[in-house]
Structure 1
Amino acid sequence: MAAPNFRFTHYDLKPQRAGTTIEVTLSAVNNVRLMTATNFQRFTERLDFKYVGGVAKRSPIRLVIPENGHWHLIVDMEGHNGLAESSVKLIAAPANALSQKQAS
């Protein structure tokens, strides 16, 4: 796998349930991208990929897992001055999230 030509921090979130909240704390403005395993592979191969998130101008930022599946979180410096220090906390999905859309 060829890595992108900018620095990033990768968090393998493992399989997660829809509705789980990801809380990301950053030391500076960076991009925060939540993506499926397939899209993470595309990211590492420098192909087009889809993600939830974008430029995080405040901290902490919270993203919600949209569907059950294996998820990855990337914090990257593309377009910014440097790679931020980061930490990630998972907040379990509410019990009623079980009825949400299942991963295919």
Structure 2
Amino acid sequence: MAPPNFRYTHYDLKPQRAGTMIEVTLNAVNNIRLMTAPNFQRFTEMLDFKYIGGVAKKSPIRLTIPEPAHWHLIVDMEGHHGLAESSVKLIAAPGSTVSQKRAS
């Protein structure tokens, strides 16, 4: 099926740990929807899907990843005048450390 009939920007956030914060900066009011990979698939097929977020009236907006999974973020203009310019920054979960692996 075709993607939804409104314009949106898609960010593939890849697998993320629980507690990772997503900071979204927008230049206009838009919807932000943080969803898992299966829900993103349902979104593109225009089926019911679940997400975290909603109408972003201020910027930046911060959302926290609730569980480890492959995540997607959508910024969309549904119900608004136009698609906002957006940027996304990932902030590591508190207390998490970057592990270094050595070749064996």
**Amino-acid identity (%):** 84
CA deviations 1:33-60 (Å, max 9, x no partner) are: 0000000000000000000000000000
Between stretches 1-10 and 54-63, larger displacement belongs to 1-10
Rounded Cα–Cα distance in structure 2 between residues aligned with 1:41 and 1:95? 32
**Residue identity matched to 1:54:** G
More helix by proportion, 1 or 2?
1
Q: Which residues of structure 2 form unaligned runs of 5+?
A: 97-104
Q: Name the SS for the 2:84 alignment partner.
A: coil
Shift of 1:95: 1.9
RMSD between superposed Cα atoms in Å: 0.8
TM-score (norm 1): 0.90
Instruction: Output aligned runs, 1:1-104, within 5 Å.
Output: 1-95=1-95
Rounded Cα–Cα distance in structure 2 between residues aligned with 1:33 and 1:84? 14
**Residue identity matched to 1:14:** K
**Residue identity matched to 2:35:** M
TM-score (norm 2): 0.90
Structure with bigger gyration radius: 2
Shift of 1:93: 0.3
Q: Which residues of structure 1 form unaligned runs of 5+?
A: 97-104
Stretches of 4+ moved more than 2 A in 1? none
Shift of 1:2: 1.4
